[in-house]
Amino acid sequence: MASENKRNNVEEKKEENKELKGMGFFKKVKYSIFNIEKYPEMATEGIGKALSYIAKLVVALAMVLSIWTLYQTYQMINEGTNYLENQFPDFSYSDGTLTVNSEEAIVIENEQFGKIIVDTKTDSEETINQYLNQINEYGTGALVLKNRVVLKNITMIGEVSYNYQESLNSMNLTEFNKQDVVNYVQNGQINSLYFSVFISLFIYSFAMYFINTLWYAIIIGIVGYFTMWILKMKMRYIAVFNMAVYALTLSTILNIIYLIVNIFFNFTIEYFSIMYVTVATIYLLAAIFILKTDLMKKQAEVMKIVEAQQIVKKELEEQEKKEQEEKEERKKKDKEESKDKKEEKKESKGNVKHDEPEGSNA
């Protein structure tokens, strides 16, 4: 019976492994959120599969962020063009350098686009850092310098910097002035710039979020590894790291939802990053405790099987001993019966000799 159960468990395990090997991305997303007991099995697929899985999630995240930032850029350029044409001072660009005809820094504050600071005179890193701090405090905005523009969005990790010469030379733009920019936007020639901005944003967003997600996975994996050590469970760190990657699924999806909500409602959560890590950690720890419970159940089943085997073994030994005793007793009885028969035979012979007639001696 025990061997039959073991065979059935092996067959079930094979079916589960077969199912996991053929599992698509969306099924893994479902398992990562609703079937956390599958984490150990998914972790056995290796670090390559885990990294490929989280990369696909980050692609979705980077895509949402890039589209949103591009949309903001589109609106900012359209509104900015009107502002440039009517209120902004004259400026010119030549060989990687932007020059604005203003002695002081220009500060523009807009609820939709944030704080925009234009200063093409300064070379001081201290002043530039002060400008960036002002924009960071505001949450969203842009810093326009003589050789580059720095964009900041509340959904971004850090800032995105674009060097004029690197970005504009690819479009064969080496010089222009205020009127050229207005004409460029109004004639629709800026579409190629939008595409270039989108590609740059996507690459930057993917790289930053992918590295950031891996860092979270490493930290959460360390927490999980020490939890296993406390629970006296043996598992390699790389397997725990793989589990941590899958545990980040819900957090990453919540991050995507948060970006979308922020796009339409300008809704911010002050401690979102803490919630991001906390949710993933809870998922990993829950998976570890489920694994521990399963191991304890299996150990209890094994103990029951061992106890049952010991009882059966003891019964067999007792039965064998009883049979041996019965055999010895039968052997002894047969021996006694054989001895009695010999004695009876001997006595019968003696009686025959004793009963012969007296005339027979004559």
The tokens for 18 are: 């077969």
State residue 154's pLDDT score. Answer: 60
Cβ neighbors of 269 (< 8 A, separation 6 or more) are: 258, 275
Q: Please, where are the H alpha helices in the chain?
A: 2-21, 25-34, 39-43, 47-86, 125-138, 164-169, 178-186, 191-230, 237-247, 249-265, 272-354
State residue 47's pLDDT score. Answer: 92
Taking the CB of residue 167, how many other CB atoms lie within 10 A of it?
16
d(CA 200, CA 207): 11
d(CA 251, CA 273): 9
Which stretches in the chain have pLDDT values below 50? 1-2, 6, 10, 360-362
Q: Please, where are the H alpha helices in 187-271?
A: 191-230, 237-247, 249-265
Whether 93 and 164 have beta carbons less than 8 Å apart is answered as: yes
State residue 252's pLDDT score. Answer: 93
State residue 158's pLDDT score. Answer: 66
d(CA 331, CA 338): 10
State residue 362's pLDDT score. Answer: 36
Q: Strand 175-177's sheet: what is its strand order? A: 97-100, 91-94, 175-177
Is pTM beyond 0.85? Reply is no
d(CA 306, CA 296): 15
CA count, 13 A, side-chain hemisphere, 274? 3
